[in-house]
Amino acid sequence: MADALKKDEILGLASVLASLDYYQVLKVDRKAVLNDVKKAFFRESQVLHPDKFFASSDVELKGAVMTIYKRIAEAYAVLRDPEMRAKYDAQIAAGADASKRLEKREAPTGGNVPAADPKAKNSQAQKYLQLGLMALRKGDFSGAEMNLQFALKFEPGNDGIAKKLAEAKEKAKAKGDTKDPYKI
């Protein structure tokens, strides 16, 4: 059975946690085999599992324990899984500045609410606005630019149309299709 840690040791550990990699968190060697990783996890759990402090009234201590234990559990989850461990080892090898936690890929969110489409009061403006928005969605940025310009002529003060026009211009430029309508 591991010895109980004193409060200042626990607070100290919590304060340096961000600089420790998973191996350091579990106090195991880089070459540690699965069984060593498991033993280390059990050993650290015995000392630092939040349930060991459940009835304590020391909020600061409990907070530090929670922070540390979450990292211990994470380290264990990664190091016991050969695939994740290989990824993590590669991440550490790639650079000293790399995050000490396993990096995860990005993903686009779902259930999204895109910015509402602008509306025009003038019926002619609305007609060209719709054509412009449709072109924008299709990726026909120069077409969108033209239609939005017409829409803005029928309703000059409309901010929403102006913004969409600016967007279409920017995108057309980025795409490199600033077609000169007069060029043959």
Partner 1 sequence: MAEKVIGVDLGTSFSCVSVVIDGNPVVIPDKDGNLTTPSVVAFGAENQRLVGWKAKRQMVYNPANTVSSSKRLIGRKFFSQEVKKAREIMPYQIVEGPHSDVRIRVQSQDYSLPEIGSFVLSKMKQIAEDYLGETVRRAVITVPAYFNDSQRQATKDAGEIAGLEVLRIINEPTAAALSYGYGRDLDKKIVIYDFGGGTFDVSVLDIIGDVFEVVSTAGDTYLGGDDIDQRIAGYFAQKFQEAYKTNPLENKLALQKLIESSENAKIQLSMQDEVSVMIPEFSKDANGTMRPLNGTLTTTKLADLIYDLIQKTFKVCDEALQEARMTAGDIDEVIMVGGPTKLPLIRQAVQQYFQRLPQTDVDPDLVVAMGAAIQAAALAESGVDEQPEGTEPSQAGDTTDIKRNPLIKDPGAAAKPSSLLIDVTPLSLGIETVGGFTERLIERNSPVPTDQSRIFTTSADNQVQVKIRVYQGESKKAAENDLLGEFQLDGLRAAPRGDVKIEVTFELDANGILHVTAKDLETNKQQVIRIAASSGLTRDEVAKMKQNAARGVTT
Contact positions toward partner 1, by CB under 8 A?
1, 4, 38-39, 41-42, 45-46, 49-58, 66, 69-70, 73-74, 76-77, 104, 106-115, 163, 167, 171
Of 122 and 130, CB closest to partner 1 = 130
As measured in angstroms, the least distance from the Cβ of 168 to partner 1 is 11
Query: Exposure string (b/e) for 142-179, b if CB count within 10 Å is 16 or more?
Result: bbbbbbbebbbebbeebebbeebbeebbebbeeeeeee
As measured in angstroms, the least distance from the Cβ of 88 to partner 1 is 14
Residue/partner pairs of 68-71 with CB below 8 Å, 24 or more apart: 68/10, 68/13, 68/14, 68/17, 69/45, 71/17, 71/20, 71/25
Of 81 and 122, CB closest to partner 1 = 81
As measured in angstroms, the least distance from the Cβ of 112 to partner 1 is 5
Of 108 and 176, CB closest to partner 1 = 108
As measured in angstroms, the least distance from the Cβ of 50 to partner 1 is 5
Of 163 and 179, CB closest to partner 1 = 163
Of 41 and 128, CB closest to partner 1 = 41
Cβ(91)–Cβ(98) below 8 Å: yes
Distances (CA, A) of 116 to 7, 75, 81, 119, 153: 54, 43, 45, 9, 22
As measured in angstroms, the least distance from the Cβ of 45 to partner 1 is 6
Nearest Cα neighbor of 22 from 110, 63, 81, 64 is 81
